[in-house]
Structure formats: C-alpha cells, structure tokens
Amino acid sequence: MIKLRHAALVVALAVLAGCSRPAAYVVLLDQPDRPGSAVTFTNQAGTQLVDKPGSGTGADRADAKPVEVFAVTEKDLRDRFGRAIDSQPSMPKSFMLYFQFQSTELTPESKALLPSVLDEVKARPAPDLSIIGHTDGLGDAKYNYDLGLKRANEVKSMVTALGIEPRMIEVTSHGKSNPLVPEAPGKADPRNRRVEVTVR
C-alpha cells in the first residue's frame, strides 16, 4: 500500500529483475509548489517513509521488508519512469487577481496577468477553469456573496474576450466566508478582495 501526504506526486513501476533497485519501487518527485510532500511505502513486512524529492524505496516481494531510502538521479528517473511522468496531467495553476474597494474593477497589476491565464489554458490539451470570487469582511454576507459573484463573472467576461471558451469555465462566489488574510472586526484587507482563477 502506498500512502501520500500533501498530494505528493509519485511514480511507481515494476522494474527488471537483476537491477540494483528493488523489483518494485516508488520515487517522490520534486514539487516546488507543494513543500513537505511525502510518500509511505507499506507492505506485509513493514513501512518506509520517503520525504525527500528524488528519493525512493521499495521491495523485491510483498513479504520482504522495504529497503532503506535511496537517491534516484534524473537520468534514472527518465530511463525508468519517463513514460509515466510524461503521461501525468499537468498540475493545476492558480492566479490571484485583486480588485478595487467595493468594485468589480481589477487592479492594474492583476489586469496584466490575464494574458498569462490564456497562455496557461493554451498549454493544456483539455483545460477547464474555476473562477471563485471573494470579498473583504465589510458588509453583510449576502452583499459580499453577490459582489464576489459579480467579480468572478467580470473575470469570466475578460477571459472569454481573450478567446477562452465559456463552456470551460465554472464560476462561483465565496463572498467573505473564505478570507485569504484574517481581518479584525471593522477592518478590510485588500488581499481579500480577489478572484482565484485555477486552470486545470
């Protein structure tokens, strides 16, 4: 059994007998956007934790104790797991777009990120987008839900104007219920006035 922590990206394949590696092993791949990833290799004879990217463990048989963690070179990875790695779907990419106070107008810096969203969509064979609107904590829940939805729909209009198909896009609002930054009562943090765009 292989257990993952923090959605670790792992490759696992049976390899030819007689190699210096176990007959079956797993390798933890580097994920810069997910520090702290790990994989636990467990069989009938024991458990071995791998928490360093570019390392692996495994066993020759289900009743053999997992071997000590070993380093795996980039060449080993490509030689043994190249096809498996290449067939992995791309990791989701998120963009944070910020808004003016009580407005559906993007900040100039956020508006400049829209072409990057388009580039990310074009780089994927079958993309879809999630657009989630958020607000700061001022005002009541309904007002902020509606404002978050307006912001999300404004971003949807902008990306469809760039050529992204509307059918690829899911729009929702979290209003003020999911702040990026905690706020004191009566205070508003501009980082909470945002839309999160995730391209998968």
Q: What is the pLDDT of residue 11?
A: 55
Q: DSSP letters along 63-117, please?
A: TSPPPPPEE--HHHHHHHHHHHHHHSPPPPEEEEEEB-TTSSPBPHHHHTTHHHH
Closest CA to 100 of 27, 154, 172, 20: 154
Q: Quote the CA–CA distance of 187 and 200 in Å, as a whole number.
A: 34
Q: What is the pLDDT of residue 47?
A: 94
Which 3 state secondary structure label does DSSP give 146? helix
The architecture in CATH of the region 93-199 reads 2-Layer Sandwich (3.30)
The predicted-structure confidence for 139-191, as pLDDT tens digits, reads as follows: 999 999 999 999 999 999 999 999 999 999 999 999 999 999 999 988 999 99
Which 3 state secondary structure label does DSSP give 152? helix
The predicted-structure confidence for 78-135, as pLDDT tens digits, reads as follows: 888 888 877 777 889 999 999 999 999 999 999 999 999 999 999 998 899 999 999 9
The predicted-structure confidence for 144-154, as pLDDT tens digits, reads as follows: 999 999 999 99
The predicted-structure confidence for 42-84, as pLDDT tens digits, reads as follows: 999 999 999 999 999 999 998 999 999 999 988 988 888 888 8
How many Å from the N-terminal Cα to the C-terminal Cα in the chain? 28
Q: Is the pLDDT of residue 12 over 80?
A: no
**And the tokens for 118?**
């388009």
Element housing 143 (H / E): helix 141-161
| Verdict on whether the full-model pTM lies above 0.85 | no
Q: Is the pLDDT of residue 9 over 60?
A: no
The predicted-structure confidence for 13-46, as pLDDT tens digits, reads as follows: 444 333 467 888 889 988 776 778 899 999 999 9
Residues in the chain: 200
Q: What is the pLDDT of residue 141?
A: 96
Q: What is the pLDDT of residue 81?
A: 83
Q: In what order do the strands lie in the sheet with 129-134?
A: 93-98, 194-199, 129-134, 169-175
- Comma-separated ranges of CATH 3.30.1330.60 domains in the chain: 93-199
**And the tokens for 102?**
């009580």
Q: Quote the CA–CA distance of 183 and 143 in Å, as a whole number.
A: 18
